[in-house]
Amino acid sequence: MRPHGWLVFACLFGCKLGFSPLEETQGDADAGIDGMALDEGGDAAGDAAAIDAPPPGTARRIYPLWQESCAIVGGAVYCAGNNSYGQLGSGSSADQSVMVPVVGIANAVALANGTSGHHVCALRSDSTIACWGRNSGGQLGDGTQTNRSTPVSVAGVNDATQVAVGQLHTCAIRGAGALWCWGVNANGQLGDGTKTARTAPVFTGVSDAVEVSAGQDNTCVRRATGEVLCWGVNIAGQVGNGGGNQDVTVPASTGIMNATALAVGLQFACALRSDGTVWCWGRNDGWQLGASSPASSGVPVAVPGVTGATGELTAGGWVACVKTAADYRCWGWNSAGQLGDGTTSNGTGPTAVSVVTNVVEYRTGGEHTCAIEGSNAVKCWGQNYAGELSNSTTTKTATPQIVQGLP
């Protein structure tokens, strides 16, 4: 059983044999869409956010998503796993247990590392964004609510530097740091002060964003100053402003003013601070905050035992990981071995990753994890409902598997 007993344990909206994030908090994702015209650039100011670039020494990138995994090789994108909404981008709706090419993309530089929905977005080298998959709330940004099994361009965006996807919404940093969002907005996750859904991007009012990350129905951003702002659904305290469980429709401060990295999981979020510590907030029924208590926290709390963290902070469904000077440390739910310690034991704090070595890129997904080793080997492990490990099976494993189907 997964650690969120308060939710309905049923396979909803295209999930495969397991929990899919409950969408009742979204309201009617197919109603009330306002196709707001895009005001190019907004009131962008502050430091420019650099386009997310591959880590040194690797020509590949890997992105474990909800029940999918995608990779970039030489600008081309490949995906495997659940394809209920066409989120593999191959032009079909058949699940794939081996990576298949995404149609029509040859210049991708980064993907949105979403771990709670069924759509995928790619940042391209020309600063445009292409998205595909589920579009019931307009989250693909093409002005429609039509699911797409091949990529479509986000309307009017040609100056993007970063993109993030939530369950039914998407956000991008543009130009010098203006943050724009689109899609479902039933909990205020677009940050524009309303609960009106949008099929085209709307400006959030944040003009100095350097990093954005989205969760199930919430969004967080790191400003150039180091301040972390969050908004959207707050039922488990995932906004981090200490304001109870009310939805927040405009960016609110978490009180963290010195963040150097940010990652949002399913219903929690974490920030790396300049002193090398990691602080998390939100739901904690699976040790997502790094300890057994509290059950949830509406304000950031320090993850015990993590010091000297240097970057590469990542958060998935119920897991967070960070690179330290000595190793990678992970904490959270471990039912399929996704923590990377070679076990499926739960109920421990941050633990050292031992199943891969010489890591140059490391990310967590819904219930699986992927890494790139120094040899450029791409490996994934954990849950495998729909073939997301890309190893020609649908069998979960705590042992890293070589990702098949990549050139």
Q: What percent of the chain has pLDDT over 90?
A: 81
pLDDT tens per residue, range 361-407: 999 999 999 999 998 999 999 999 999 999 999 999 999 999 999 99
Q: Which residues pair with 223 in a beta bridge?
A: 209
DSSP 243-259: -TT--EEEEEE-S---E
Instruction: Using pLDDT thresholds of 50, 70 and 90, give the confidence band for residue 240.
Output: very high
Helix and strand numbers, DSSP H then E, in the chain: 0, 29
What is the pLDDT at residue 117? 85
Taking only the tens place, the pLDDT of each residue in 150-164 is: 999 999 999 999 999
Q: Is the pLDDT of residue 335 over 60?
A: yes
Query: What's 61-108 look like in SS3?
Result: EEEECCCEEEEEECCEEEEEECCCCCCCCCCCCCCEEEEEECCCCCCE
Q: Tens digits of per-residue pLDDT, 63-91?
A: 999 999 999 999 999 999 999 999 999 99
Residue 244, pLDDT score:
85
Name the band, by pLDDT with cuts 50, 70 and 90, for residue 115: confident
Q: What is the pTM of this model?
A: 0.89
Q: What is the pLDDT of residue 26?
A: 38
Q: In order of start, what are the domains of the chain with their CATH numbers?
A: 33-402 (2.130.10.30)
Helix %, strand %, coil % of the chain (to 5): 0, 40, 60
Task: Give the per-residue pLDDT at 52.
Answer: 55
Mean model confidence pLDDT for the chain: 88
Q: How far is CA 137 from each of CA 64, 146, 182, 199, rounded to the nearest angstrom?
A: 23, 9, 9, 7
Q: Considering just the CA atoms, what is the radius of gyration of the chain in Å?
A: 19
